């Protein structure tokens, strides 16, 4: 399985789970702080995993690859957006192996509350839940758009940006980074992306009940992708949650950028 590595060459191992849409290269935002705190960030190319692997088989395959890379040792997880959901599912198959879990702009289970109407991606999630075949067609259309005009796809995704995500949306460096991630996500890997979304929209709140890993939640008060009530629910539903930080004025990606130094500082001193 393809991976991307950032930060220190031989530091404490941290696995970063990118969003959907997203790509392993997204983990580059941890590179500088990772070097500073002697942390090695590894991001799996989840969407390249055989699309025939579904549900528990998919989670087990990712858990096995993580254990192989870490040589069975202890690791830490950072999950962003829907990547947080994937991280939580993998932990169930790695009992006692994950020491710390950081959930950033995390998307909570849709079966846990009436969150959908307030989410920027509600049309996509509704389609994935009610009409999976049509959702796949939409995903292939996004893949075609990512191939011929990734900048247009970027503009469509950020048309409803709020908080400091609006400033990120006009930042040339961020735009370049995310358009590359969109191409990597959709061009040739649509089935992998669709699998993550399809699994996310299914009921999974019960998987939080026994999550005893030391968990930290980071969220933006203006997040309209994963809305703030989702952070509150996760904090109350995860037995191992020890801290929640909500940033005023920040939204989805801006929360991630703001949280990176604090996450690395905590992991580096753990």
Percentage of the chain lying above the pLDDT 90 cut = 97
Count the domains in the chain.
1
Q: What does the DSSP 8-state code read for residue 171?
A: -
Q: What was the pLDDT predicted at 132?
A: 95
Q: 3-class SS at 51?
A: coil
Name which of 19, 15, 18, 62 is nearest 41 in CA terms.
Answer: 15
Helix H or strand E encompassing 186? helix 172-186
Percentage of the chain lying above the pLDDT 70 cut = 100
* pTM for this predicted structure: 0.96
Average pLDDT over residues 125-146: 95
| C-alpha span between 27 and 196 (Å, rounded) | 18
- Mean of per-residue pLDDT scores for the chain: 96
Backbone dihedral region of 210: left (phi > 0), alpha (psi from -120 to 50 degrees) or beta? Answer: alpha
Average pLDDT over residues 153-179: 94
Peptide bond into 261 cis (omega under 30): no
Domain interval for residue 72: 3-268
Q: What was the pLDDT predicted at 231?
A: 98
Average pLDDT over residues 159-180: 94
Q: For residue 190, what is the domain's CATH number?
A: 3.40.50.1820
Q: What was the pLDDT predicted at 168?
A: 95
Average pLDDT over residues 1-23: 96
Q: Assign 1 a pLDDT band (cuts: 50, 70, 90).
A: confident
**Residue 37 above 80 pLDDT?**
yes
Average pLDDT over residues 106-112: 97
| C-alpha span between 21 and 7 (Å, rounded) | 23
Q: What was the pLDDT predicted at 269?
A: 86
């Amino acid at each position: 399985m393809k991976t991307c590595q950032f930060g220190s060459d031989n530091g404490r191992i941290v696995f970063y789970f990118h969003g959907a849409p997203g790509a392993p290269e997204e983990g580059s935002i941890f590179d500088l702080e990772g070097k500073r705190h002697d942390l090695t960030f590894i991001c799996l190319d989840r969407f390249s995993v055989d699309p025939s692997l579904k549900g528990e088989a998919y989670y087990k395959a990712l858990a096995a690859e993580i254990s192989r890379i870490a040589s069975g040792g202890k690791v830490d997880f950072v999950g962003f957006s829907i990547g947080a959901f994937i991280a939580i599912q993998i932990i169930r198959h790695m009992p006692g192996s994950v020491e710390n879990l950081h959930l950033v702009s995390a998307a909570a289970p849709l079966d846990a509350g009436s969150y959908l109407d307030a989410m920027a991606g509600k049309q996509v999630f509704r389609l994935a839940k009610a009409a999976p075949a049509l959702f796949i067609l939409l995903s292939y259309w996004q893949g075609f758009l990512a191939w011929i005009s990734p900048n247009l796809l970027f503009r469509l995704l950020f048309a409803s940006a709020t908080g400091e995500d609006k400033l990120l949306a006009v930042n040339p460096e961020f735009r370049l980074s995310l358009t590359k991630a969109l191409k990597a996500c959709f061009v040739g890997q649509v089935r992998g992306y669709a699998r993550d979304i399809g699994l996310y929209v299914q009921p999974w709140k019960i998987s939080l009940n026994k999550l005893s890993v030391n968990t930290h939640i980071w969220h933006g008060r203006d997040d309209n992708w994963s809305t703030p009530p989702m952070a509150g629910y996760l904090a109350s539903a995860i037995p191992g949650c020890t801290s929640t930080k909500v940033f005023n004025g920040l939204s989805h990606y801006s929360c991630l950028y703001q949280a990176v130094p604090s996450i690395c500082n905590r992991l580096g001193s753990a």
